[in-house]
Chains A and B, each alone.
Chain A
């Protein structure tokens, strides 16, 4: 399991970082952070804070998508190895 965890962290977070950065650039090129509304109220954070929070939001979203991809890509072996039904049989081998 540890391997999968490390793989997930590196192949999920890193591409998400790159794509999140591009998304951030595109988004804030066309949208002025000072013109944003949060739950109906104008955003009052400093621009730098808005940019930063925006970046992390994009990063998180991209990471979610990457993680889902990597989750669905898991091989039958990885899925079967999960201790669940038939676990004892595996051990009885």
Chain B
């Protein structure tokens, strides 16, 4: 064509940087630590796990003490039996747990994360297994990069195998809370585990393995919703794990014995000897010296580690410690911190917690021991029968919520000459329900349509246990 033609337009395209959404994960090799907080954590590991692995085996009134029986649709928690009608109690229990969590977090940070969360607890157990077979941090790091040898492979395999065994047992225990342990054990012993039971054992076991063995701190960093929103419960008076920057900086290595603390201070050095042990022990791989970070699960491992270093240096302990933002900034002592525990946020959380708990207790105390559902039998219509009578058919669902088998008398009232045909006594075993079909007859009275009648169900043994239930009687 002509040479006046516009040159081919070149659209500059900005180079797209292939930026991964997630940072590349450096594998964290937490170094084992001993000390006060480590002891607390182990105490809680024992406590929660004895509870978890043990409670499902405990008998109570001839049944499993704690069982969320999905097939029967009943939750047994010791003497408390919750039916689907009691969903209110479950909701309130959840609210109570939520408010407790808020309260604890506002007072002392992520206590839950550091000591009681299953993610922490199983990671702790798995790390112990790892250390048992593959050694502590430095050894593990070496072994991970070393060439494959028979010994390394055996150690690794032994670790995986132990992890798998713990996970499997955890999954089995989990399912034992939802379908009765006795049946589950029988089915395992006779090799007849139901497909869904087996599926959920493997599913929960697999999750345990993945969470505690593979993903570890990533669960806290990327998956846990609580880790993201815990900051809204924090304020400047919340106890958190902090590094005393003023005291620690400027950090720097030094030879003990050659440089006394006074000399170090005179030359502008702080107490931190920059040994990086606090970073090595951290299960989430952060450096607490950079300040409070959302990745910090408040486990206290860095406190234990740093205290040991301080002890060796013959410096006072507590360079890293539980403290509050205000306390650090204003150089408060312990009693100032304690005084500031009582503040509006704490009072509000406590007031809510107390009132919801009271409501819960009140609800439990006034929980009825007997429930009755009446429904008109949809299959049979109201009809006239011999003797100038009208017959309606009802289904009574009698729920005995108590722990003893009871016999109840059934009667009907509300219309002149009304009466029932058939069984008037019903026996219902403890914590179960029984249905009965009742034919009710009353004289034809010329008024058409629905009329109100009442069913009375009374315990034969205890007068006070009774239900007065409304129903409608149709005159054709």
Set of chain A residues within 8 Å of B256, measured between Cβ atoms: none
Pick from B22, B71, B84, B223: contact of A48, CB below 8 A: B71
Q: A88 to chain B: which residues have CB within 8 Å?
A: none
Contact A32 B194 (CB under 8 A): no
Nearest CB of B to A70, in Å: 11
**Residue contact A52 to B222, C-beta cutoff 8 Å:** no
The interface stretch among B196-204, B269-277, B456-464 is B196-204
Q: How far is the CB of B39 from chain A (nearest CB, A)?
A: 33
B73 close to A (CB within 8 Å) = yes
Cα distance A47–B70 in the bound complex, in angstroms: 7
- Distance of A18 Cα from B87 Cα, bound (Å): 20
A10 to B13, CA, bound (A): 30
Shortest CB-to-CB span from A75 to chain B, Å, is 10
**A51 in contact (CB, < 8 A):** yes
Q: Is B258 an interface residue (CB 8 A)?
A: no
Set of chain A residues within 8 Å of B11, measured between Cβ atoms: 89
Q: Which residues of A contact B71 (CB under 8 A)?
A: 46-48
Contacts of B90 in A (CB 8 A): 29
B225 CB-CB contact with A under 8 Å: yes
Check A48 against B222 for contact (C-beta < 8 Å). Answer: no
For A1-31 the 0/1 string (1 means CB < 8 A from B) is: 0010001001000100010000000000110
- Of listed A14, A30, A52, residue having the most chain B CB within 10 A: A52
Report Cα–Cα, A18/B22, bound state, in Å: 21
Q: Does A90 contact B (CB under 8 A)?
A: yes
A18 near B225 with CB under 8 A, answer: yes
CB within 8 Å for A32 and B197 given contacts A7-B21, A14-B223, A89-B11: no
Report the bound CA distance from A48 to B195 in whole Å: 10
Cβ contact within 8 Å between B225 and A52 = no
Q: Report the Cα distance A52→B16, complex, angstroms.
A: 44
Residues of A within 8 A of B21 (CB): 3, 7
Number of interface residues of B (CB under 8 A): 25
Number of A-B contacts (CB under 8 A): 40
B20 and A3 within 8 A (CB):
yes
A10 touches B222 (CB 8 A): yes
Closest to A49 in B: B196
Determine how close the nearest CB of chain B comes to the CB of A59; give it in whole angstroms.
12
B179 contacts chain A at the CB level, 8 A cutoff: yes
Which residues of chain B have C-beta atoms less than 8 A from A18's C-beta?
225
- Cβ of B204 to closest chain A Cβ, rounded Å: 13
Q: How far is the CB of A74 from chain B (nearest CB, A)?
A: 12
Q: Residues of A contacting B73 with CB < 8 Å?
A: 32
Q: Which residues of B contact A89 (CB under 8 A)?
A: 11, 13
Task: Mark A41-85 against chain B: 1 for CB-CB distance below 8 A, else 0.
Answer: 000001111011000000000000000000000000100010000
Residues on A with beta carbons closer than 8 Å to the beta carbon of B16: 77, 81
The interface residues of chain A lying within 8 Å CB-to-CB of B84 are: 29-30, 32
Task: List the B side residues contacting A3 at CB < 8 Å.
Answer: 18, 20-21
| A residues less than 8 Å from B197 (CB atoms) | 48
Residues of A within 8 Å of B, CB-based: how many?
19
- Given A3-B18, A51-B70: A46 and B194 within 8 A (CB)? yes
- Please report which residues of chain B, range 275-305, place their CB below 8 angstroms from some CB of chain A when the two chains form the complex: none
Of chain B, the residue at the smallest CB distance from A86 is B11
A87 → chain B closest CB, angstroms: 11
CB pair B13–A93 under 8 Å, yes or no, is yes
Chain A: CB-nearest residue to B223: A14
| CA of A30 to CA of B199, assembled, Å | 25
Which residues on the B side are within 8 Å of A93 (C-beta)? 10, 12-13
In Å, the complex CA distance between A86 and B436 comes to 75
Inter-chain CA distance A81–B65, complex, in Å, is 59
Q: Which of A10, A29, A48 touches B196 (beta carbons < 8 Å)?
A: A48
Bound-complex Cα distance A30 to B13 (A): 56
A7 to B73, CA, bound (A): 38
Instruction: Provide the bound-state CA to CA distance between A3 and B22, in Å.
Output: 9
Whether the pair B13, A52 counts as a contact (CB closer than 8 A) is: no
Q: B199: which of A29, A52, A77, A90 is its contact (CB, 8 Å)? A: A52
A36 to B365, CA, bound (A): 34
B194 touches A48 (CB 8 A): yes
Bound state CA distance, A28 and B312, in angstroms?
Answer: 59
A22 to B326, CA, bound (A): 39
B69-109 residues with Cβ-Cβ distance < 8 A to A are 70-71, 73, 84, 87, 90
Bound form: Cα–Cα A52–B194 in Å: 12
Q: How far is the CA of A81 from the CA of B17 in the complex (A)?
A: 11
Among all A-B residue pairs, the 7 with the closest Cβ atoms: A48-B196, A47-B71, A29-B87, A52-B196, A7-B21, A93-B13, A49-B196
Q: State the B residues within 8 Å of A (CB).
A: 10-13, 16, 18, 20-22, 70-71, 73, 84, 87, 90, 179, 194-197, 199-200, 222-223, 225
14 interchain pairs, CB-CB under 8 A: A7-B22, A29-B84, A30-B87, A46-B196, A47-B70, A47-B71, A48-B70, A48-B194, A51-B70, A52-B196, A81-B16, A89-B13, A90-B13, A93-B13
